[in-house]
Amino acid sequence: MSEYINISGIKKRYKKKEVLKGIDLKAGKGEIIGIIGNNGSGKSTLLSILAGALAADSGVFECGGSNLLTDPKTRRKTVGYVPQGNALMEELSAMDNLLLWAEKKDIERELENGVLAMLGIDSFIKTTVSKMSGGMKKRLSIGCTVVGHPDVLLLDEPCAALDIVCKDSIYDYFRQYVGDGGTILMATHELYEIGLCNRCVLLKDGVFTDYVYDGDAHRLAALM
């Protein structure tokens, strides 16, 4: 598979602690790359850097020939980011939140027969975020991120604490997304999500090592 993403030499230090010591990763179109590691290992820090929410001390994030760490305009068009927390506007409806990210005609098309329909957002499109369940909020967060059809998704624990029905609809979308040539970098602790990945990398002591999940959860826990 041809290389589409090249992450090289990303470092990040907080005062005396060097969280990321030189992150290197390559990925192709149509791949889901799992990023695994203990809490506090730097997974969220890395994804925040790649999304442009946090500055790296050094390194590059090349995608399609552009360094997205120094080209925010291209990054906004190319990358979608779903953080762990809820970034939605609580006082607005699902539709009003989506309108912050896309044109109404595009949203309506996706609600009728597209990603928003696949995520089931059409069923609560008029609901205010403050009245939504956790699963609805997560699906809407993903919907706001993907409605513009970015080439790359950065996902930080996308389905943590969700019920099986919510997870299934989100996983179905992930499969379709990479089937259409998208690339996903996903920080996760979920064994099922690890099984969805084409390959995984283990973040430990500030660097990546390749990891092949063989279904042995105890072996994985020992490595972390």
Q: What would the pLDDT profile of 61-70 be if each residue is shown by its tens digit?
A: 999 889 999 9
Q: Which domain holds residue 54?
A: 3-223
Q: In this structure, what CATH number is given to the domain that contains residue 160?
A: 3.40.50.300
Asked whether 28 and 1 are in contact (CB, 8 A), the reply is: yes
213: pLDDT confidence band, cut at 50, 70 and 90?
A: confident
Residue 152 pairs in a beta bridge with 79, 183
Please check the confidence at residue 1 and state whether its pLDDT lies above 50.
no
pLDDT in tens, 150-192: 999 999 998 887 888 888 888 988 999 999 999 999 999 888 8
Nearest by Cα to 31 from 61, 67, 5: 5
pLDDT in tens, 85-106: 888 999 999 999 999 999 999 9
Provide the number of structural domains found in the chain.
1
- Please tell me the predicted confidence (pLDDT) of residue 2: 56
